[in-house]
Amino acid sequence: MTIKNLPAAPAVRPHARVESDLLPKAMEHWNPAIKAAASDDNTITMYDPIGMDWWTGEGVTAKRVSAALRNIGDKDVTVKINSPGGDVFEGLAIYNLLREHKGKVTVQVLGLAASAASFIAMAADEIQIARAGFFMIHNAWTIAAGDRNDFTEVATFLDQIDGTLADIYSIRTGDEIKAIRGLMDVETWMGGSAAVDAGFADSLLPSDAVKEDANALAPQQIAARRMESILAKQGMPRSERRALIQELKGSTPGATSSGTRNAADTQADLAEHFADLQAAMSRFSAAALK
Tens digits of per-residue pLDDT, 19-29?
556 666 777 77
**pLDDT per residue over 208-224, tens digit each?**
888 887 666 555 566 66
User: Do 145 and 240 share a structural domain?
Assistant: no
DSSP H helices in the chain: 24-29, 62-72, 88-100, 116-121, 148-173, 177-185, 192-198, 219-233, 238-251, 263-289
Helix and strand element counts for the chain (H, E):
10, 11
C-beta atoms surrounding 66 within 10 Å: 13
Region of 51 on the Ramachandran plot (φ > 0 left; ψ -120 to 50 alpha; else beta): left
| CATH code of 203's domain | 3.90.226.10
Q: What pLDDT, on the 0 to 100 scale, is given for residue 142?
A: 77
β partners of residue 80: 45, 108
Q: Residues for the chain: how many in total?
A: 290
Is-catalytic flag, 115?
yes
CA distance 71 to 65: 10
**Domain span at 243:** 219-289
CA distance 117 to 86: 8
Query: Among the three residues 187, 212, 237, which one is the final residue of a domain in this structure?
Result: 212
Q: What is the number of structural domains in the chain?
A: 2
Q: Which residues of the chain have pLDDT under 50?
A: 1-2, 16, 252-267, 270, 288-289
Is-catalytic flag, 207?
no
Among the listed residues 45, 226, 29, the one whose alpha carbon sits nearest the alpha carbon of residue 115? 29
Q: b/e per residue, 202-212, with b = 16+ CB within 10 A?
A: bebbeeeebee
Query: Among the three residues 158, 191, 212, which one is the final residue of a domain in this structure?
Result: 212
Is the separation of the CB atoms in 114 and 94 below 8 Å? no
Query: For 48, which DSSP code?
Result: S
Catalytic residue among 83, 101, 138, 273: 138
User: Do 189 and 249 share a structural domain?
Assistant: no
C-beta atoms surrounding 51 within 10 Å: 23
User: Do 163 and 70 share a structural domain?
Assistant: yes
Phi, psi of 49 (to 5 degrees): -60, 150
Catalytic residue among 20, 83, 115, 170: 115
